[in-house]
Amino acid sequence: MAAPASPRLALVILAVADLPRAVAFWSEAFGLRPTVQTPVYVELALEGGPRLGLYDRRGFGRNLGVEPAAPSPTAPQPTELYFHCDDLDQAIAQVQQAGGVLLSARALRDWGDEAAYFRDPDGNVVVVARPAP
């Protein structure tokens, strides 16, 4: 019997309606910089982890062979990106300044993190958190 595969998460890819807007949001909110840039896809480096890919919805659909459903302009998507931050106050301010819409204010959560929940311009849920003091 062959040994089990040892997958490593390399990328998290989000389909976005407006690629320049999405790149601006993630760059402003978290200071991420593009490492790959094409007309329909941009990849951003995350410190110490997988990369974040932003894919124009039309290009994303071409890979799937089917057009993805359009997200609601106000309802969050069933996607959550959870970031631990050293300075939670600064992270919250940056996400808000970049255009993140507050979904749930900073609070102590049941699992022991202090976290605030936002919606990005494409409806993805973005969480900034730190372990509770």
Interval 98-118: pLDDT, tens: 999 999 999 999 999 999 999
30 within some domain: yes
Mapping DSSP to helix (H, G, I), strand (E, B) and coil, where does residue 75 land?
A: coil
Alpha-carbon distance of 22 to 67, in angstroms, equals 19
What does pTM read for this prediction? Answer: 0.87
CATH of the domain at 73: 3.10.180.10
Instruction: Provide the domain limits for residue 121.
Output: 11-131
When divided into structural domains, the chain yields a total of: 1
Is 107 a member of any domain? yes
Structural domain contains residue 1: no
What is the per-residue pLDDT across 33-82, written as a single tens digit (0 to 9) for each? 999 999 999 999 988 888 999 999 888 888 888 888 777 777 888 889 99
Q: Name 117's bridge partners.
A: 104, 127
Examine residue 117 and state whether it is found in any structural domain, yes or no.
yes
